[in-house]
Structure 1
Amino acid sequence: MSSELENHAGFEATLIGFLYRQFTKPKPLPEGTDLTNQVAIITGSNTGLGFEACRQFLKLGLSHLIMAVRSQARGDEAANQLRSEFPTSNISVWTVEMESYDSIRAFADRCATLPRIDIVLLNAALMKMAHTTVPTTGHELTMQVNYYSTVLLAILLLPILKSRKAIDAQRPPVLSIVGSDLAYRVDIETKGPILQQLDKSEGYGQILWYSRSKLLLTFFVAKLAEFVDADDVLINMSNPGTIKGTGFFREFPTLAGKVVAVLHFLFARRVEVGATMYLDATIVQDKEGHGSFISDWAIKPYPLIWYGAEGKEFNERLWEETMQELNFVGASKIIEDMKAR
């Protein structure tokens, strides 16, 4: 990360910074962008931003789309809408339960059967009103889906992506993990164990836990990219900004929901605009953006805490705790093996 980006990190956490991002105009894709023969995998793709991203990829000629969804029925319904619009495209619906490590491992194994993978967009996420514990892991549900499971899937896919670069591909496979600019403004306890503090119910708030899960994911993506050669897999984090019309806040109480609706009316982007951020991160961004936070169609700073000594120490502990959690699949070895040429 350049010193210029660091100098702007504080600004991104301000209200003016938020407004500046929200009203930045989208950049068009390069002339002649064509995804013919390419294969893309998108999680959380039957609704909202994920579904719109599917549509926009298919408009660019994407040959094979894998919609990774929780419900086969809802996935099929969404896929049928796209098939009617893009009858020549190959659209598959694969299930993955992001609360389940076993389901994620099975999904990754299925991805390994593909002869080619060009784009992976890890878009699945949630925000729960009440503190909920996942029985099989003991972790709070928002953290489980947004952090643990997303990280696990990313790690499992890395060697598969590295081995599935097509001979005629102009660029390496891209793994883009969806983040949030809420990470700019959230606080978190930096002393002591990191992950276990978010399994506790004390102080729980749906937006707070969601924001913290995305902050941790931001730290992890930056660290992960250090171990992966950009010629093997391009890794970045894509931030669509605040979006209206996605149903993401559907669990909010009536009054809170009305407040969100007003704020969205005033400041939020349309889904079609937010989805173009995904296209920018996976199609336009190159090696310069490896390990970067992609927002507003450009490389943007990570949260200010990331740049200081406290943040660096925090990042090391987060990495160690995450590896300890996921080493039941040999996560550390998978990542170390990615360094071997």
Structure 2
Amino acid sequence: MGWTAEDVPDQRNRRVVVTGANSGIGLETTRELARNGAAVIMACRSVGRGEEAARDVRSEIPDADLRVEACDLGSLESIRAFADRLGDEQLDVLINNAGVMAIPRSTTEDGFETQFGVNHLGHFALTGLLLENLHVHDDRESRIVTVSSGTHEMGEIDFDDLHGERSYDPWGAYAQSKLANVLFAYELERRLLTAGANAKSVAVHPGYAATGLQYRGPEESGSRLRLAAMKVLNAAVAQSAEMGALPTLYAATAPDAEGGAYYGPDGFMNMRGTPERQASSDRSYDEEAARRLWAVSRELTGVSYDLPRPALETETA
């Protein structure tokens, strides 16, 4: 039998930030972390929905240590305000979970294409702003878990049209943002290693998990046919959000989870099952693309990291 939520180790005295904690995989991740004693900061775009989710968790786990904070990944101002409110509060884990999927083209308040802006740039900025909270420069181990998708395998980073201004396809933009998640997670791990930091950066994907994420695109585009198709697929193929959260929980808590790894479900076509280490797409291991994406992300967000740039393999060969 594979690794399950029952294998989550004691999380007492650990403080975790989960973005998008009010629904889907984020909510189930929050629930299991709280069940095992972690203090969870639920970073949510809507405080109201976050408080409702917290009540749901407390109805099952009365002593759950939860705090809801506003954090809109589509707003650099909101991200900075969230980080400012945390001050120098110590964190052990950051789970970059929030996301949007296959929606009609729109932009964030900072002018970024929404999927690239929320799924990648928002988390790039948040991670950089919380780096000192995660104590990457001392002897207490911390972890940064970034939730991608198997769809990243279809993604390409179009550096000439990152925001889909010339050509936009909802699924292509989603795949690009999810590839960016994996490239970021791997590049962050390389920089942490170069710095000698006692921290791990891990990428995960949930497989095909039934959450509200699948419905937003059809709802926003007004496609009742696509919405109906998604509901049928969720019922026939998808695993539960509880199962979909397992790779995230494993990466965040398992003693043997490895930095620079990519974890996902071990079942049929990696769409369902329990966590295992997997290979991501060939493009995700392109260190030059990762370095270029890092530089562009730093320029767009204005967030820099106090971490040294690693040498490329081609530079050390």
Q: TM-score, normalised by structure 1?
A: 0.78
User: What pairs with 1:131-146 in structure 2 (closer than 5 Å)?
Assistant: 131-134=105-108, 136-146=109-119
1:99 is displaced (CA, Å) by: 1.3
**Match of 1:41, as an amino acid?**
V
Residues 274, 321 of structure 1: alpha-carbon distance in 2 compared, 3 angstrom cutoff: same
Stretches of 4+ aligned residues off by more than 4 angstroms: 29-32
1:265 is displaced (CA, Å) by: 2.8
Question: How far apart in 1 are the matches of 2:164 and 2:246?
Answer: 36
Q: Does 1:300 align with 2:275?
A: no
1:133 touches 1:140 (CA, 8 Å); kept in 2? yes
Structure 1 residues 93-140: Cα deviation after superposition (integer angstroms, max 9, x where no partner): 1001111112111212223342x3222211111125321123x42211
The percent identity for this pair of structures is: 27
Question: How far apart in 1 are the matches of 2:186 and 2:297?
Answer: 14
Structure 2, unaligned runs of 5 or more: 266-274, 311-317
Q: Secondary structure at the match of 1:240?
A: coil
Question: How far apart in 2 are the matches of 1:45 and 1:269?
Answer: 19
Question: How far apart in 1 are the matches of 2:111 and 2:204?
Answer: 28
Corresponding residue of 1:109: 84
**Match of 1:99, as an amino acid?**
G
Structure 1 residues 18-40: Cα deviation after superposition (integer angstroms, max 9, x where no partner): xxxxxxx7423686821122211
2:93 touches 2:142 (CA, 8 Å); kept in 1? yes
2:205 touches 2:264 (CA, 8 Å); kept in 1? yes
Question: How far apart in 2 are the matches of 1:128 and 1:337?
Answer: 33
Q: Does 1:207 align with 2:171?
A: yes
1:42 touches 1:67 (CA, 8 Å); kept in 2? yes
Corresponding residue of 2:238: 268
Q: Secondary structure at the match of 1:198?
A: coil
Q: Secondary structure at the match of 2:245?
A: helix
2:9 touches 2:254 (CA, 8 Å); kept in 1? no
**Match of 1:154, as an amino acid?**
T
Number of paired residues? 295
* Most deviating of 89-98 and 251-260: 251-260
2:156 touches 2:283 (CA, 8 Å); kept in 1? no
Aligned partner (choices 297, 300, 304) of residue 325 of structure 1? 300
Corresponding residue of 1:278: 248
Corresponding residue of 2:23: 47
User: What pairs with 1:24-103 in structure 2 (closer than 5 Å)?
Assistant: 26-28=2-4, 33-62=9-38, 64-103=39-78
Q: Secondary structure at the match of 2:152?
A: helix
* Most deviating of 242-251 and 218-227: 242-251
Structure 1 residues 182-240: Cα deviation after superposition (integer angstroms, max 9, x where no partner): 11123454xxxx1x513234432222211111112211221111111475221111211
1:61 is displaced (CA, Å) by: 2.4
- Whose RCO is larger (CA < 8 A, sep 6+)? 1
1:75 is displaced (CA, Å) by: 1.1
Aligned partner (choices 150, 154, 158) of residue 185 of structure 1? 154
Question: How far apart in 1 are the matches of 2:145 and 2:126?
Answer: 12
Aligned partner (choices 118, 122, 134) of residue 96 of structure 2? 122
Aligned partner (choices 307, 311, 314) of residue 335 of structure 1? 307
Structure 1 residues 132-173: Cα deviation after superposition (integer angstroms, max 9, x where no partner): 123x422111111011111111112122201697x8x6xx11
